[in-house]
Structure 1
Amino acid sequence: MENFDYFDALKESLEQAVDYTKGDKSRCRTVVRETPIPAYKADDVARTRKELKLSQRGLATALGVSPRTVESWEAGKNAPSGAAQRLLYLFECDHTLVERLVAR
């Protein structure tokens, strides 16, 4: 079994951290962790839409779905898919994202 040199490993890690802060990301790795997204129910969709000051058609355009889909979500007939829930969450966190997707 090889001897593991903790000092050299730590030194190399610190050198990589310095390189990273200087913009060299060639030796780094990114750890991705999932952010829990709330489940959007009928009231949540309607509340989010109103906070964004959008019509059902406007929200549908921003999400890339039909206005009838948004209508059915708000009526409680269907629930937004995982991708739609993530977009709704992002819209709630940053209202400017909607500005990039729809013309008012």
Structure 2
Amino acid sequence: MSVYSSIKQGLDEAVKYQDGKVNARKIRIVVKPVETFSGEDIKRIRQNVGLSQVVFASSLGVSKKTVEAWECGRNTPEGPSRRLLQLIRDYPEMIDQYLVKA
């Protein structure tokens, strides 16, 4: 099948779906909200995986000072760091694949 034919077929199917002539599989996906973490929460997560602040910071891609500030409550993690903390808390074994023991 040519690229043109493939695109035309896809568009024809989309029009039929829009007109209600074709039933398509529908999967509803709900993404868990990103949680917030207190300094104590972060310290508990770090200690649970058995890492120092330096190694934990490195595994998250942030500085040691950032982890210190989070744990002391001076700053709070944002966006991707919060999702990473959530994942590490829920699946602590996953961090092992990013640690290289020399």
Instruction: Give 1:61 deviation, angstroms.
Output: 1.0
Q: Is the 8 A contact 1:49 1:59 kept in 2?
A: yes
Structure 1 counterpart of 2:64, one-letter code: P
- Give the share of equivalent positions with the same residue, in percent: 30
Amino acid at match of 2:35: P
* Residue 66 (structure 2) aligned to one of 66, 69, 72: 69
1:58-101 deviations in Å (ceiling 9; x for gaps): 11011000111001100110001121010011011112221112
Equivalent position amino acid for 1:102 in 2: L
Q: TM-score, normalised by structure 2?
A: 0.69
So what's the TM-score if we normalise by structure 1?
0.68
Instruction: Structure 2 unaligned segments of length 5 or more: list them.
Output: 1-18
What do you get for the CA RMSD once the two structures are aligned?
Answer: 2.3
Residue in structure 2 matched with residue 103 of structure 1 by the alignment: 100
| Partner of residue 48, structure 1 | 45
Equivalent residue number for residue 39 of structure 1: 36
Do the aligned partners of residues 29 and 64 (structure 1) sit closer, same or farther apart at CA in structure 2, a change above 3 Å counting?
A: farther
> Measured at CA, do residues 38 and 4 of structure 1 come closer, stay the same or move farther in structure 2, by a change above 3 Å?
closer
Task: Tell me by how many angstroms 1:29 deviates.
Answer: 6.3
Instruction: State the alpha-carbon separation in 1 of the partners of residues 20 and 60 from structure 2.
Output: 52
Partner of 2:91: 94
